[in-house]
């Protein structure tokens, strides 16, 4: 089964609408902070991996 990007985005949009309706602002803000921090950590670790590979090529 192949999932297309646009189908995923439509589903994700409706999921976010549902979350905004079901939960209060404090819960929404908490979820947003958790997602931003976790993506930030993943992105930062990816940067370190790229830097490590680049450093190995130069030395």
| pTM (predicted TM-score) | 0.56
Return the structure tokens found at 52. 């490590």
CA angle 40, 10, 38 (to 5 degrees): 15
**How much is the pLDDT for 53?**
80
The whole-angstrom separation of Cα 27 and Cα 47 is: 30
What digits encode the pLDDT tens for the residues 2-16?
Answer: 768 889 999 999 998
**How much is the pLDDT for 41?**
87
Those residues with Cβ within 8 angstroms of residue 23's Cβ, 6 or more apart along the chain or in another chain: 31
Q: Where are the domains of the chain?
A: 24-59
What digits encode the pLDDT tens for the residues 18-52?
Answer: 988 999 999 989 988 998 999 888 888 888 888 78
């Amino acid at each position: 089964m192949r999932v297309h990007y646009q189908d995923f985005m439509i589903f994700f949009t409706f999921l976010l609408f549902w979350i905004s309706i079901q939960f209060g602002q404090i819960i929404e803000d908490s979820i947003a902070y958790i997602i931003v921090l976790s993506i930030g950590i993943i992105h930062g670790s990816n940067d370190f991996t790229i830097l490590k590979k680049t450093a190995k090529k130069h030395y």
